[in-house]
């Protein structure tokens, strides 16, 4: 949206919504039970590993995956998942059980995304993990992960030269 012609309208809508929410929040007092419940709810949400994530819907191809042995999922050809991407890494969430399958930091996993094949692959060099996820959003995933992993590595290591994570997009 930032580069589109509708940018001004988009910015105006965001600012108007922010103003509306800010005004309603400022009317809460410390003794307001509703405000206390909102705050407790947000504190609980902040504890989730996928808080603040962008979610990408996909299908985990079980023929091509290897997960840590403590992870249990049903053996079917494809398991519907969400890939949550935030500043701490990747989080695979089963849509069947609504549970986190695994969470991976950017410096612990190699990733590859192919927009043409609609595919995302996550793996570790020690071969304890290898997953392939089919998603139509592989190109968008790749763009977001490139930026997020760079921020993560700068925050973690102070620079990007000491990374063990690889990030690239195939254009087959």
Contact call for residues 129 and 122 (beta carbons, < 8 A): yes
| Predicted TM-score of the model (pTM) | 0.65
148: pLDDT strictly greater than 90: no
What pLDDT, in 10s, does the model give residues 107-134?
888 888 888 888 888 888 777 778 888 9
**How many whole angstroms separate alpha carbon 131 and alpha carbon 65?**
4
Q: Tokens in use for 124? A: 């570790």
Identify which of 117, 112, 78, 113 has the alpha carbon closest to the alpha carbon of residue 95: 78
Within 13 Å, how many C-alpha atoms sit on residue 120's CB side? 29
Q: Tokens in use for 48? A: 């989730």
What pLDDT, in 10s, does the model give residues 48-59?
888 989 999 999
> 3-state DSSP call for residue 79?
strand
Residue listed under structure tokens 């094949």: 117
Tell me the CA end-to-end span of the chain in Å, nearest whole number.
Answer: 28
Contact call for residues 134 and 59 (beta carbons, < 8 A): yes
Mean pLDDT for the chain? 78
pLDDT at residue 107, as a whole number: 86
Q: How confident is the model at residue 81 (pLDDT cuts 50, 70, 90)?
A: very high
């Amino acid at each position: 949206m930032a580069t589109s012609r509708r940018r001004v309208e988009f910015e105006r809508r965001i600012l108007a919504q922010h103003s509306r929410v800010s005004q309603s929040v400022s009317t809460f007092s410390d003794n307001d039970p509703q405000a206390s419940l909102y705050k407790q709810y947000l504190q609980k949400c902040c504890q989730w590993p996928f808080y603040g994530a962008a979610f990408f819907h996909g299908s985990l191809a079980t023929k091509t995956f290897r997960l840590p042995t403590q992870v249990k999922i049903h053996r079917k050809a494809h398991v519907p998942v969400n890939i949550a991407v935030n500043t701490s890494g990747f989080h695979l969430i089963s849509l069947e059980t609504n549970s986190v399958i695994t969470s991976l930091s950017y410096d612990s996993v190699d990733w590859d995304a192919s927009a043409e094949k609609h595919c995302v692959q996550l793996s570790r060099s020690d071969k304890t993990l290898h997953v392939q996820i089919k998603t139509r959003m592989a190109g968008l995933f790749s763009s977001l992960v490139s930026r997020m992993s760079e921020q993560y590595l700068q925050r973690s290591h102070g620079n990007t030269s000491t990374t063990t994570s690889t990030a690239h997009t195939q254009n087959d």
